Amino acid sequence: MENKRLIYAVDDEQSIREVYSYALKNAGFEIECFQNGEEFLSALSARKCDIAILDIMLDGLDGYEILKAMKSNSQTNDIPVIMVSAKSTEIDKVRGLDLGADDYLAKPFGVLELVARINAKLRKSQKSAIAYKDVRIDDSTHCVIISGEEKKLTLKQYELLKLLVKNSQNVLSRNTLLDSVWGDNYGETRTLDIHIADLRKLLAESTAQIETVRGVGYVLK
């Protein structure tokens, strides 16, 4: 069975929610709609979506406040967000983009344009993010999420983990790892062992683990 991409949409107008539901289901997405920010954030804490569509003018939490909450949470700050509003002034667009929104649509908008923008954001997200089990790396922001928590890595730790995630379940030789991450400037080969030990500590609670293949190198399983 095909795994459909999940979209959450927040709008206090029932007619708009119905448009979202009908159009996006027909476009092949799984869609859940909410009439306020509180319902949306509650659902988001239980199940993460692939993209969020936020109306700006809402009762209670407005779209900007919802966006701030998402971007301040390490478990949701990588979700692409499209802001939607009848307010179409430049300052409204700039405010949303400055807060971390990925796109802005002014009402009224066409369904085909909405679907096209969603697909574009999802393609961009797929290109910049790589994941294996509960390890997610966003290469555009250098954000690393492990078991739902954002982790701080040094540059070499980041590059090494990214290489292991990209080649998960494949054994990488010590020479491959050293050449790819350090080039000719790795000094002692023990440098790799130290960084692997550091990554193992970071992955201690993760379902992904680095295993040693004796006489060869390492593999992320």
- pLDDT tens per residue across span 16-35: 999 999 999 999 999 999 99
Q: Cis omega before residue 108 (within 30°)?
A: yes
All domains of the chain in start order, with CATH: 6-128 (3.40.50.2300), 133-220 (1.10.10.10)
CB-CB contact of 59 with 12 (8 Å): yes
Given pLDDT bands bounded at 50, 70 and 90, which one contains residue 187? low
pLDDT at 1: 41
- The overall pTM is greater than 0.85: no
Q: What whole-number distance in Å separates Cα of residue 221 and Cα of residue 208? A: 6
128 or 10: which leads in pLDDT: 10
Q: How confident is the model at residue 127 (pLDDT cuts 50, 70, 90)?
A: low
The b-or-e profile of 169-204 (16+ CB within 10 A means b, else e) is eeebebeebbeebbeeebeeeeebeebbebbeebbe
